[in-house]
Structure 1
Amino acid sequence: MSRYPASVDVAIVGSGPAGATYARILSEEAPDASIAMFEVGPTVSDPPGAHVKNIEDAGLRARAQERSEGPGAGAATVNSPGAVKSGERRARPGTYLLADGYQVDGEDGLPVAAFSSNVGGMAAHWTGACPRPGGSERIAFLDDLDDLLAAGDRLLGVTTDAFDAAPYTALVRDRLAAVVDDGRADAARVQRMPLAVHRRDDGRLVWSGSDVVLGDATRANPRFSLFDESLVARVLVEDGRAVGVEVRDLGTGEVHEVRARAVVVAADALRTPQVLWASGVRPAALGRMLNDQTQVVYASRLRDVEPPAGDGIAASGALSEQSGVSWVPFTDEMPFHGQIMQLDASPVPLADDDPVIPGSIVGLGLFCAKDLQWEDRVEFSDTEQDSYGMPAMRLHYTLTDRDHAVLDRARAEIVELAKAVGEPIGDRPFTMPLGASLHYQGTTRMGETDDGQSVCGPDSEVWDVPGLFVAGNGVIPTATACNPTLTSVALGVRGARHIARTLTPVIE
């Protein structure tokens, strides 16, 4: 007998935060609906979808990361952004690189484009940063965007006070503000980074993953089921409408059909269009407007500080909390987003006689918004397959003159920020290999109308394919510099509420 149901009300492909959002909202607002969630990777944490940083045993944490690396498991990874060398292709722990097709001759490509295959997706490995979009990052045609973002904060468990007790938090923020805030609106001034993290009663931090998004409402829902190591090869479409999914049990190799009244594809910004392509759903905008965030990093050592009292509370089993996480918001005048946080070691060697005060090495990262281009895209093969047997992908991606100009500005700005904070470490900032941010967007973009430039409408339902919804970072239609997860969850809330309304009978 199949371990899968013959039919459900809603089938969700992918268990990252966006897919989890649909399960949570449906559990809350359509509690009689049956929901099946399918994830290609294994369950690596307890509860399912939990952040691996919450695994206190370092060996078990490393094992969870390796099990998330799918076909790339066993390859060399990099443990921190500062350790990435120019031209080197290494994935972060818990992720694996696109093996082929990441760069076309004559284009920049995304050399370190990467994925995670595990319950919880990349939210089992992320930094938890949840800034709100500002200026041109915002989706102008969604009048309810702020309400949706507030709902996203609730689902992700976003806080801003987790690091308030860290001794250098206010100092770092004040030093940054002195060189950034002049002329900025209040919302765009230096501030605490909103983080998907909370502190337990014993003082330890708990980082949010998809488990937090799913919440008790979903876990207690007897009509919700999560199936790991289950590859959805295609969406079933009949008479132009989505009616279910074809799923392959990776343990047995058996293929089954699961009928559904609605299908949500929330694989990620590269694999969601892959599933649609494999299903014969190929609107003109599918895979187009691919955009990422180029990233510049630097480090600085805090000057004129005293060693903090005590050792601090371990934030991740290794890092003492001293300087917290500060945020320099994106503005249209300065089109990058800043994330300033403590490093547990210097990215360059220091002299043996030059002792480092714990927590005094601060890492700075600026993420740049991409100039959107129709030709930046992920395309799929009808003849070649990837390691999962899905259509092989090829990335077309080129930085424009404007992109290079913004990068130059970011390199200059990060030096000024590093000087404001303390003493810059190293001769110059480092530009990360393209794709390193893991913030891929735009490939199933939302539009206000079906003008050929978008894949789905404001409720995330695919144009001309009723019952088929897309979710995740790929739905974001704007060029952003801020971390996209909160926005993706917010858009998922809107789509899930739409499905809930269609499933809930109207009482007259």
Structure 2
Amino acid sequence: MTEVREYSAAVDVAIVGSGPTGAAYARILSERAPEATVAMFEVGPTISDPPGAHVKNIADPDARARAQAASEGPGERGAKVANPGAAKAGVRAARPGTFLLDDGFAFPGEDGLPVAAMSSNVGGMSAHWTGACPRPGGSERIAFLPDLDELLDEGDRLLGVTTDAFDAAPFGAIVRERLAAVVDEGRPPAARVQRMPLAAHRREDGRLVWSGSDVVLGDVTRANPNFELHDESLVTSVLLEGGRVAGLAVRDLRTGETHEVRARYVVVAADALRTPQLLWASGIRPAALGRYLNDQAQVVFAARLRDVEPLGADAPTTGLAEHSGVSWVPFTDDMPFHGQVMQLDASPIPLAEDDPVVPGSIVGLGLFCAKDLQADDRVVFDDEHVDGYGMPAPRIHYRLTDHDHALIERARAEIVRLGEAVGDLLDSRPFTLPLGSSLHYQGSTRMGVVDDGTSVCDPDSRVWGVDGLYVAGNGVIPTATACNPTVTSVALAVRGARRIARDLTR
């Protein structure tokens, strides 16, 4: 017999989604308004202890695989792809821990986002991400936020961002030195080649620990008696009364029963597809809802480090980035790409029987491109199509502009130049991954200064025209970015959470 869970009848703040931005709201409220009652609802299951932890921290590979499979949403568990090689072969498949849209990902005459993917689990995509937390630069920055740098500092604090997790990587300095020789000239110090800021740290025993929502929540939230987390709980509607939020309708996926939870404030912190989905399903449909959707086209390449000595038997050999570290080529307006360079998971790769590769000397290079923003790039919903949860299914309309195509070609030339600087090229040409591969979808609930139909929320992430309703996640970012968006999204969540905390403690 399924145990009946108790949902609070009323709370001060209800949070939809348990990824890093939803967790940031819970953390800031626990720190600044500890008397406030906060309930978080997640459609997926709890897959780790503590809840929200990164699956890479699960030592047992079988247990890790079970956690990934449990994150892959409703319906059948399909084939998974872990590397660009499978994408080259034309395989349309999600990475472990994620699932794709069944349909509606592209329409005739459009490019679409054929591998747009999501996760359903406590912690959201932060249980599966790479942990990269670069800061935006140049036109990536949100110019109308004067406190952006302080907010980014808070984002770093909540995510546990470090730059020294791979300082012991034997080839890291070599990679950065060679990249810097062809990149750094004329750049200010902040935009030069450097270690990638990562949501990761080393334990005293040397083990690498990756941050997930567990780190963002922190001990203060877990110890907060006024905070509750409900997994396998589908929020089907935001309830409104007189132009203000009144609470949520929540379906317990274990029992199928629907409950009403009253709330003074509601934060919808799902992903860039499911946040607009819930607002649309609730009849909350600002003109910009779902529009300005943007992904980061991604070009990848590989090179073998030249002139490196074989490592000793005691060198780290535990997988991704342990030899070459993770290096960052920051975005600039003159070179509008974000570069991420790290060891390939597959190394060592023998190129020929008589040419063994030094372990760890195969590095993967990736350049992410900023999208040309268009209102017509959008996710829409209707009453005819539903997803595996019975919610309005996302239908994506998305086109690359001439500017986008030119930028991708420029990135392809640039990544060859970077590869040649690092070592010997392993392929005749770079590969452009299928659209949606970045998992960095943004803009669908974008922030703006005025309610002029081009934004969904104000600088505090409050949805225009609906008192007490906030949105969070990558969808809130209003600029075209090439860098990984998580720390920026968490920074914006901090601003919104502080606003709610001020209102609650007046």
Is the TM-score greater than 0.5? Answer: yes
**Partner residue, 1:334:** 335
The answer to whether 1:148 aligns with 2:119 is no
Aligned partners of 2:185 and 2:367: how far apart in 1?
A: 19
Cα deviation digits, residues 351-389 of structure 1 (max 9, x gap):
222211111000000000000001000000123211101
2:303 to 257, 275, 300: 300
Structure 1 window deviating more from structure 2 (65-74 vs 211-220): it is: 65-74
Q: How far, CA to CA, are the matches of 1:87 and 1:290 in structure 2?
A: 25
- Aligned equivalent of 1:285: 288
Q: Does 1:213 align with 2:201?
A: no
| Alignment match of 1:5 (pick from 8, 24, 30) | 8
CA, structure 1 residues 236+252, in 2 after alignment: closer, same or farther (shift >3 Å)?
A: same
Deviations 1:150-187 (A, max 9, x none): 00000000000111111111100000000001111111
2: CA distance, partners of 1:36 / 1:244: 11
Q: Of residues 101, 105, 110 in structure 2, which corresponds to 1:107?
A: 110
Q: Is the 8 A contact 2:321 2:344 kept in 1?
A: no
Three-state SS of the structure 1 residue aligned to 2:351 is: coil
Distance 1:349 1:235, change over 3 A: farther
What is the aligned partner in structure 1 of residue 365 from structure 2? 364
Residue 366 of structure 1 contacts residue 410 of structure 1 at CA under 8 Å; is this kept in 2?
yes
2:476 matches 1:475:
yes
Counterpart of 1:434 in structure 2 is 435
Aligned counterpart, 2:67: 64
SS of the counterpart of 1:392? coil
Q: Are residues 1:31 and 2:34 paired? A: yes
User: Cα offset for 1:46?
Assistant: 1.1
Contact 2:191 2:331 survives alignment (8 Å)? yes
- Structure 1 residues 209 and 482, CA, compared in 2 at 3 Å: closer, same or farther? same
The equivalent residue for 1:83 is 86
Q: Against the structure 1 CA distance between its residues 282 and 194, is the aligned structure 2 distance closer, same or farther, given a 3 Å change threshold?
A: same
Deviations 1:216-242 (A, max 9, x none): 110010110000000000100110101
Could you report, residue by residue, the CA deviation over 1:420-445 in whole angstroms, capped at 9, with x for unpaired residues?
00001111111000000000000000
Q: Distance in 1 between matches of 2:42 and 2:88?
A: 33
- 1:405 counterpart residue number: 406
d(CA) in 1 for partners of 2:169, 2:117: 33
Residue 452 (structure 1) aligns with? 453
Q: Is the 8 A contact 1:203 1:313 kept in 2?
A: no
1:80 is displaced (CA, Å) by 2.1
Q: Distance in 1 between matches of 2:39 and 2:287?
A: 29
Task: Select 2:172's aligned residue among 169, 173, 186.
Answer: 169
Residues 63 and 330 of structure 1: is their aligned pair in 2 closer, same or farther, counting only changes over 3 Å? Answer: same
Asked if structure 1 preserves the Cα contact closer than 8 Å seen for 2:31 and 2:220, the reply is yes
Does 2:279 match 1:257? no
Does the CA-based 8 Å contact 2:20-2:490 persist in structure 1? yes
Residue pair 1:12, 1:266 contacting (<8 A) in 2 also: yes
1:469-488 CA-to-partner distances (Å, cap 9, x unmatched) read: 00000000000000000000
Aligned counterpart, 1:198: 201
Residue pair 1:313, 1:320 contacting (<8 A) in 2 also = no
Distance 2:241 2:397 in 1: 32
Identity score, percent: 75
Q: Which moved more, 1:189-198 or 1:87-96?
A: 87-96
Shift of 1:311: 4.0
Cα pair distance change 1:402/1:488, threshold 3 Å: same
| Letter of the 2:158 counterpart | L
Residues 348 and 203 from structure 1, CA distance in 2 versus in 1: closer, same or farther, beyond 3 angstroms?
closer
Query: What TM-score, normalized to structure 2?
Result: 0.98
Shift of 1:344: 2.9
SS at match of 1:256: strand
Q: Which residue of 1 aligns with 2:47?
A: 44
Q: Partners in 2 of 1:308 and 1:23 — Cα distance?
A: 45
Residue 346 (structure 2) pairs with residue 345 (structure 1): yes
Deviation at 1:345, TM superposition (A): 2.0
Task: Report if aligned partners of 1:87, 1:433 keep a CA contact under 8 Å in 2.
Answer: no
Partners in 1 of 2:354 and 2:89 — Cα distance?
A: 29
**What RMSD in Å do the two structures reach over aligned CA positions?**
1.3
Match of 1:385, SS?
coil
Q: What CA deviation, in whole Å up to 9, does each residue of 1:78-112 have, x standing for no partner?
A: 12234322542110100000111000110000000
Q: CA shift at 1:117, angstroms? A: 0.3
Task: Measure, in 1, the Cα distance between the counterparts of 2:151 and 2:317.
Answer: 33
User: How far, CA to CA, are the matches of 1:85 and 1:119 in structure 2?
Assistant: 32
Deviations 1:395-431 (CA, angstroms, capped at 9, x unpaired): 0000000000000000000001000000011111110
Q: Which amino acid aligns with 2:395?
A: R
C-alpha spacing 1:73/1:362, structure 2 compared with 1 (3 Å): farther
Q: TM-score, normalised by structure 1?
A: 0.97
1:180 and 2:180 aligned:
no
Kept in 1, the 8 Å contact 2:350–2:357? The answer is no
Structure 1 counterpart of 2:65, which letter? A
Partner in structure 2 of residue 312 of structure 1: 315
**How many angstroms apart in 1 are the aligned matches of 2:485 and 2:305?**
29
